[in-house]
Amino acid sequence: MSTAAGRKSIFITGAASGMGRSTALLFAEKGWFVGAYDVNRSGLDTLRDEIGSGNGMFEVLDVTDSTAWTTAIDLFAIATGGKLDLLFNNAGIGNSGLLDEQAWDDVMRIVNINFIGVMLGVRAGVPLLKNTPGSLCLITSSSSAIFGTAGIPVYSATKHAVRGLTEALSIELKRYGVRAADLLPGLIDTPLLSDGLRQMAPAEGMWRLVKPREVAETVWEAYGADRVHWYIPEELRDFHLQVVAEPEVVREERTALLAAMTAVG
């Protein structure tokens, strides 16, 4: 088994693809020891070939499985001497459909992965984080946690849940000297993004298509700073301010958007 040998370490869920994968590559470039976890074995193998097996751990972990979390964290702790500088709870799935028309199993699957999986990860990772000065607990929320998003209501609700969880953790974990923050990404060019949204993304502005590398760079910036919310792109902060000031205007705009999305999809 490879070991961190004094290097800083990051534990990433959803590391086989998209934003998690880009973050794993960036932190490896920076000389960190990378714990890459996912349900996608072949994606992890490709990542290991790029990063090098001596520079991390590349293991299957289903974030909804609490026993698997304990095993993964215990083995990671052996490799890092009980340290963890950055826990990146990032794994998630997309899901679309109107709430009253969705199969209940689909609803619970997204709640389990996007929300329960994050809570399990935080509970498993806190002992290592509190053992590591300057550590950060980072969670991937979404721009759909700024205003409830019709067409993806359950996804959007899970992302509101993790945003609220992050805010609470940013206070609770202070007693251990651990920071907590979340990412609020807009439209990121990964396999998770629906073709409909990809087609509708404008060339500029807050809803432009963003490369996953930009998200990885924000994770890097977040480690070195003390902020609760990270908007990607930064212009999404203006959308958040508008939601607070005039939610009924946003509701009317979003009603038109749902109609357009239904037409595209």
224 binds ligand NAD (CB under 6 A): no
23 binds ligand NAD (CB under 6 A): no
> Looking up tokens 């009317």, which residue turns up?
252
Site string for ligand NAD, 114-153 (x = CB under 6 A): ---x----------------------x-x-----------
191 binds ligand NAD (CB under 6 A): yes
The two tokens of residue 163 are: 């945003």
> Looking up tokens 């800083």, which residue turns up?
8
The two tokens of residue 169 are: 């953790």
Q: Give dist(CA 184, CA 263) in Å, integer.
A: 26
- Looking at the annotation, which residues are catalytic? 155
Minimum CB separation of residue 40 from ligand NAD in Å reads 4
Minimum CB separation of residue 262 from ligand NAD in Å reads 19
**Contact region for ligand NAD (CB under 6 A) — 15-23, 98-106, 172-180, 237-245?**
15-23
Q: Considering only residues 122, 169, 188, 250, which one is a binding residue for ligand NAD as defined by CB under 6 A? A: 188
Number of residues this chain uses to bind ligand NAD (CB under 6 A): 30
Q: Give dist(CA 226, CA 118) in Å, integer.
A: 21
Q: Considering only residues 92, 121, 125, 233, which one is a binding residue for ligand NAD as defined by CB under 6 A? A: 92
Q: Is the dihedral of CA 39, 43, 46, 52 positive or negative?
A: negative
Minimum CB separation of residue 93 from ligand NAD in Å reads 5
Q: Considering only residues 107, 119, 192, 228, which one is a binding residue for ligand NAD as defined by CB under 6 A? A: 192
Q: Considering only residues 8, 11, 13, 122, which one is a binding residue for ligand NAD as defined by CB under 6 A? A: 13
Closest CA to 85 of 20, 135, 37, 26: 135
38 binds ligand NAD (CB under 6 A): yes
Closest CA to 47 of 32, 39, 36: 36
91 binds ligand NAD (CB under 6 A): yes
135 with 179: CB under 8 angstroms?
A: yes
The edge-to-edge listing of strands for the beta sheet with 56-60 is 56-60, 33-38, 9-13, 86-89, 136-140, 179-185, 229-232
132: number of CA atoms within 13 Å, CB side?
A: 23
84 with 57: CB under 8 angstroms?
A: no
Q: Where along the sequence are the contacts to ligand NAD (CB under 6 A)?
A: 13-14, 16-20, 38-40, 43, 61-64, 90-93, 113, 117, 140, 142, 185, 187-188, 190-193
